[in-house]
Structure 1
Amino acid sequence: MEPRDDIASWLAELPTPYEVLAPAEQSLPVVVASPHSGSIYPRAFVATSRLDPMTLRRSEDCFVDEIYGRVPDLGAPLIRALFPRAFLDVNREPFELDPRMFEDALPGWVVSRSPRISAGLGTIARVVASGCEIYRSKLRFEEALQRVGRLYRPYHEALADLVRETRRRFGYCILIDAHSMPSMGGRAGDELGDSGVDFVIGDCHGASCAPELPDLVEGLLSGMGYSVVRNDPYPGGFTTRHYGRPAIGVHAVQIEVNRALYMDEQSYVRRPELTRLAMDLTRLVGAVGGTRPSPME
């Protein structure tokens, strides 16, 4: 059986798996990445999934790229994946795969056990965020090779280039990995209760950046009236762990925003509050770009 033509047909319509929104001239030592806001679904993927298109979007960080869309006007680049997280998750190891999803045996070098795989959320996810199974039938490993080779690697090569060039230009780089999370309460609305938060800041429990960076982010967001916690339940994914190298001047922080602040989570429709949130986070990026985190051993 030949692998399905999901990627070939997708790339025929859209020649690149990512987009870099670059400033005319970079003036801030910041890179913003939105790995999960992609919403262009391969038609063959949708056709062969057991889920309808709306349910497939449950894992999508809807509109996060739009929320940070004014960042290039400040002088910082924004990179966004165009393919959806349900098809391939670039915030994972390149081959973090569940063997139960494949009809052929996986090579020994594949990461086949991790908490993310157990949850069904590996590099190629078994389920969407709501827990619904994505696929009607098993995949072949060749399909994983194609997705990683033609989507995952180009995205990370572009992100690595942005980080490298920013560090070369300024002597250091601050990477903001931008995400959204299902509603958990907080200022997003009284109907959500008082137990949740608006933002979760992840710094891999202090390993991915100098401590003053999450201190600054938390202080700015709190000053804007948002509720903020750190590392629980999102300490930072592959991007934060992989790129965060404070000893060499690369500081990575993950920012998760409560979706109920800016969208209807059932209909995937923007709320008017998105405009204010975008203004607040643009201001945050500008303030972060004006700081230089201290070196770490």
Structure 2
Amino acid sequence: MLREPPLPAPRFLPAGFGGAVVLSVPHSGRDCPAWLASRVEGGARALERLSDPYMDDVVAPLIESGMGAVIAETPRGAIDVNRPLDALDPDVHPGAPPPPPGSKADQGLGLVIARGAGGRKLWREPVEELALAQRIDSAWQPYHSSLAQLIERARIRAGIAVLLDCHSMPPRRRGLPPVVLGDRHGRSAAPWVASIAAGAAMSLGFDVGHNRPYAGGEIARAHGRPKDDVHVLQIEIDRSLYLDRQLRRPGPGLGRIQKLFSVIAADLEKAAQGEAGRLAAE
């Protein structure tokens, strides 16, 4: 079996103040070691195309203000922390059972992404059991452990926790709004969370969708516990709104999208404080 060096660990940024709102940025990782790039058809650029480019820059003002965050450093294509551990594609993992028809893994978007741009094969060689276990131990597990710690600290200090899981989506098809909020149809967050976030976005002139076509992935499923006052809201933003025309680097719209996230976070923080007060009074 092929052994691999460890993948880059996520950044864990504890909160610098006592708020309820914290951040997850799972798909902007761009630390691609040479050994990893050499195993990919198309090298580091092929992995870059699978990312949510520069979402860490979008939320940078919130982090600079002291908001806690976990940010993936490993490229999404190497291991996707927003997929469950059993989302395996036999094209990448020999011996894995066929994934359920229509699932993300069936589409090549499993725990380790199987296909790159244009549906082309991504990995030069299969990612066998030992290598997969090493990727999980060095990147996937630390991400979720750090998130759990970040969320629990927020819940203890504020009485409630709201995790914003921050993503970008390809330039939208006709009819798809530029902002899509996902709460797994109410399973990862109470209704007021999406309502407040939608109101904040609309106040800035954005059309907003809810759960279609993005309802939330493994991060929302694993960490959202509305009955325990832990809410996870996935936020998808049309990346053409903050990147340049080539969708490669931050563009002139970055400031507007940074403001969008800042207003959503501020309005949710205010609402969370009111909700925590209500719960304490019961």
TM-score, normalization by structure 2: 0.90
How far apart are 1:267 and its partner, in Å? 5.0
Equivalent residue number for residue 211 of structure 1: 191
Match runs of 1:1-297 below 5 Å: 2-5=1-4, 7-8=5-6, 17-24=9-16, 26-103=17-94, 105-106=95-96, 112-113=99-100, 115-128=103-116, 130-184=118-172, 195-264=175-244, 266=246, 268-292=248-272, 293=275
Worse overlay, 121-130 or 213-222: 121-130
Contact 2:200 2:263 in 1 (8 A): no
> 1:130/1:208 Cα in 2 relative to 1: closer, same or farther (>3 Å)?
farther
1:189 counterpart residue number: none
Identity of aligned residues (%): 29
In structure 1, list runs of 5 or more residues that go unmatched: 12-16, 186-193
Instruction: Check whether the contact 2:58–2:258 (CA below 8 A) recurs between aligned residues.
Output: yes
In 2, Cα distance between equivalents of 1:129 and 1:210: 36
Unpaired runs of 5+ residues, structure 2, are none
Q: Is the 8 A contact 1:204 1:231 kept in 2?
A: yes
Q: Mean alpha-carbon deviation: is it higher for 66-75 or for 267-276? A: 66-75
Deviation string, structure 1 residues 66-100 (Cα, Å, up to 9, x no partner): 11112134442021010010111000112321123
Give how far 1:283 is off. 2.3
Distance across 1 between alignment mates of 2:212 and 2:54: 23
Give me the whole-angstrom Cα distance separating, in 2, the residues matched to 1:47 and 1:288: 43
Q: Distance in 2 between matches of 1:130 and 1:231?
A: 26
**Cα gap change, 1:73 to 1:51, in 2 (>3 Å):** closer
Task: Give the distance between the partners of 2:197 and 2:116, measured in 1 at CA.
Answer: 29
- Whole-angstrom distance in 2 between the partners of 1:271 and 1:213: 29
- Mapped to 2, the partners of 1:35 and 1:130 lie a distance apart of 23
- Amino acid of the residue matched to residue 88 of structure 2? L
**Greater alpha carbon shift after TM alignment, 242-251 vs 51-60:** 51-60
What SS is found at the alignment partner of 2:164?
strand
SS in 2 for 1:156: helix
Name the CA distance, whole Å, in 2 between partners of 1:177 and 1:67: 12
Larger CA deviation: 273-282 vs 249-258: 273-282
Give the superposition deviation at 1:40.
0.6
Distance 1:68 1:225, change over 3 A: same
Larger RCO (CA under 8 A, 6+ residues apart): 2
Number of aligned positions between the proteins: 274
Moved more, 206-215 or 80-89: 206-215
Query: Is the Cα contact below 8 Å between 1:29 and 1:76 reproduced in 2?
Result: no
Q: Which amino acid aligns with 2:2?
A: P
Q: 1:83 to 1:137 in 2, by over 3 A?
A: same
Question: What code does the residue aligned with 2:38 have?
Answer: A
CA contact (8 A) 1:58 1:130 kept: no
Q: Give 1:35's aligned amino acid.
A: P
Distance 1:197 1:283 in 2: 18
What is the identity, as a one-letter code, of the residue corresponding to 2:120?
Answer: C
Deviation at 1:141, TM superposition (A): 1.1
Distance 1:74 1:287, change over 3 A: farther
Deviation per CA, 1:217-251: give whole Å up to 9, x if none: 11110110111111110001011111111001001
